[in-house]
A = this chain, B = another copy of it.
Amino acid sequence: MGVMIIVMGLPGAGKTTVLNGAVSGFADWKVLNYGDMMFEIAKREKIVNERDEMRKLPLKSQKRIQDEAAKKLSEIQGKVILDTHCSIQTATGYMPGLPFDQLRKLKVDYLVFITAPAKDILGRRQRDTTRKRDVVSIEDVERDISVNISYLCTYSVLSGAAASIITNADGKLDDAVGRLKEVIKKAGEA
């Protein structure tokens, strides 16, 4: 029997920074990235060579690989933090990061959504020149946040897991890291 925390966040919310800051003190937790796991599966099957090819796979292949990653995850023992997306925004809509068919395969204890005030997210995306990101307005970011929180609540009802919303506002990284540490600590006690 394991313990699983799923950590999600919008682009620009600072998920990776908060996650790295929080897990450093917990040696017994393993951090797994859902996308990495899918890439490993696809590479082993020799259907892709580069990470970037993943998104070009037919939807059917992507779903099958996602299913296999979920199955693999469900068999992992111990304390796991799964790093993944709440939803993936594409040109034709939001794809659920944890569709029911996959979520039902997992035993989830905590769902964490890292977010930030819309204006902070917008500013971070504008300053980040390393990634090609679409130009969006503050209203778009606000819509994104509320859509993702709706996804989060659905995951919470379906899995029975607690849903934690952690705000990583500009200049308040320590607060966000502290809140994620609390969740990890609590999950480890259960």
Q: Residues on A close to B: CB < 8 A?
A: 58-60, 63, 87, 90-96, 98-101, 103, 110-112, 143, 146-147, 149-160, 162-165, 182-183, 186-187, 190
Contacts and interface: CB of A to CB of B under 8 A. Distances in A.
Contacts of A165: 93-94, 143, 147
A182 B183 CA distance: 41
Copies of this chain assembled into the complex: 3
B160 A99 contact: yes
Given A90-B162, A93-B163, A110-B92, A98 B153 contact: no
9 contacts: A58-B190, A92-B182, A92-B183, A92-B187, A93-B183, A94-B164, A98-B157, A143-B165, A154-B158
